[in-house]
Amino acid sequence: MNALNKIAELLETVDRHMAETGFETCLTVTTDNFTINRKEVIIKMPFVLKISIPRTDLEGNDADVSRAISQAISQAISRNK
């Protein structure tokens, strides 16, 4: 088990114990560049990335929109390496 999984497991255990005693909370570990909670790791990237998505790609269902955004980000990152 890697360190991030251990932290997430610890947060989940503490949240569960706190919920048993009446607290409604979701603990997180946060620094300037990332946040870890029991479900995800959020990394704040230290750069600005401009992406361009054709409007027609944003008119489908949620899965189509998500795919279009993901593809645009991947292409922008590839161009800026």
Contact indicator for 80, 49 with CB cutoff of 8 Å: yes
- Domain range list for the chain: 3-43, 47-81
Give this prediction's pTM.
Answer: 0.48
Task: Give 19-40 as a DSSP string.
Answer: HHTT------EE-SSEEE-SS-
Instruction: Using pLDDT thresholds of 50, 70 and 90, give the confidence band for residue 1.
Output: low
What pLDDT sits at residue 77?
82
Taken as a whole, the chain contains a residue count of 81
Question: Is residue 70 pLDDT above 80, yes or no?
Answer: yes
Question: Is residue 64 pLDDT above 60, yes or no?
Answer: yes
